[in-house]
Structure 1
Amino acid sequence: MISNALAFKPYGHLGPRASLRKAHTMDASLQLSRLELEDGGAYRCELVNGIEDESVVVTLTIEGVVFPYQSESGRYRFTFYEAMEACAEQDGSLATYTQLYRAWTDGLDWCNAGWLHDGTVRYPIIDPRPACGGELLSGIRSYGPKDKHHDRFDAFCFTSLTSGSVFYVPGSFSFQQAAHACQHQGAELALVGHLYSTWHFHSYDQCDGGWLSDGSVRFPISTPRGRCGGSPEAGVRSFGFPDKTTHLYGAYCYR
Structure 2
Amino acid sequence: MNAIMNCIAVLVTLVWCFSWICAKHHHHNQEKDKVLKYLLEPPVYAEVTACRGHMAILPCMMMIKPAHYRVKWTKIEPLKTGVQNIVLITTGHEDKKYGSLGPRASLLRAHSLDVSLRLTDLELEDDGSYRCELINGIEDENVIITLRIEGVVFPYQSQRGRYRFTFFNAQEACAEQDATLATHKQLYRAWTEGLDWCNAGWLNDGTVHYPILHPRPACGGGLLPGIRSYGPRHRAQEQFDAFCFTSTTKGSVFYIPGPLNFVEAEHACRKEGAGLARVGQIYSSWKFQMLDRCDGGWLQDGSVRFPIINPRERCGGVTELGIRSFGYPSKSSRLYGVYCYR
Pairwise TM-score range, normalised by the shorter structure: over 0.9
Contact 2:293-2:307 at 8 Å conserved across structures: yes
1:228 maps to which residue? 315
Paired position in structure 1 for 2:160: 73
- Give, in whole Å, the separation in 1 of the partners of 2:136 and 2:228: 50
Quick one: percent identity of the two aligned structures?
67
Instruction: Please list every run of 5 or more consecutive structure 1 residues that lacks an aligned counterpart in the other structure.
Output: none
SS of the residue aligned with 2:149?
coil
Aligned residue pair count: 255
Greater CA drift, 149-158 or 211-220: 149-158
* Distance change >3 Å, CA 22–CA 226, structure 1 → 2: same
Report the AA paired with residue 147 of structure 1.
H
Q: Structure 1 residue 222: deviation in Å? A: 0.6
Q: Does 1:251 align with 2:338?
A: yes
Does the 8 A contact of 1:68 with 1:114 survive in 2?
yes
Amino acid at match of 1:163: K
Provide the C-alpha distance between the structure 2 equivalents of 1:55 and 1:154, rounded to a whole number of angstroms. Answer: 38
| Structure 1 counterpart of 2:189 | 102
- Corresponding position of 1:113: 200
Deviation track 1:165-195 (CA, whole Å, cap 9, x = no partner) reads: 1111122111111111111111111110001
How far does residue 229 in structure 1 lie from its aligned partner after superposition?
3.0
Instruction: Tell me the CA shift for residue 87 of structure 1.
Output: 0.7
Question: Which structure's CA Rg is the greater one?
Answer: 2
Cα displacement string for residues 72-106 of structure 1 (whole angstroms, at most 9, x for unaligned residues): 11111111111111111111111111111111111
- The answer on whether the counterparts of 1:90 and 1:192 sit within 8 Å (CA) in structure 2 is yes
TM-score using structure 1 length: 0.92
Q: Is the 8 A contact 1:229 1:237 kept in 2?
A: no
1:246 to partner: Cα distance:
2.2
Q: CA deviation at 1:230?
A: 2.3
The runs of 5 or more residues in structure 2 that have no matched partner are 1-87
Residue 213 of structure 1 is matched in structure 2 by 300
| Alignment-derived partner of residue 194 in structure 1 | 281
Q: Which amino acid aligns with 1:56?
A: V
1:49–1:133: structure 2 CA closer, same or farther, 3 Å change rule? closer
Q: 1:9-24 alignment to 2 at 5 Å?
A: 9-23=96-110
Higher helix proportion? 2
Instruction: Determine helix, strand or coil for the equivalent of 2:280.
Output: helix
Q: Does 1:142 align with 2:229?
A: yes
Q: In the alignment, residue 236 of structure 1 is paired with which amino acid?
A: I
Deviation for aligned residue 1:43: 1.7
In 1, the alpha carbon distance for the partners of 2:157 and 2:135 equals 50
- Greater shift, 144-153 or 60-69, is seen at 144-153
Task: State how far apart, in whole Å, the 1-side matches of 2:130 and 2:332 are.
Answer: 50
For 2:250, the aligned partner's letter is S
Deviation at 1:151, TM superposition (A): 1.3
Query: How far did residue 239 of structure 1 move?
Result: 0.5
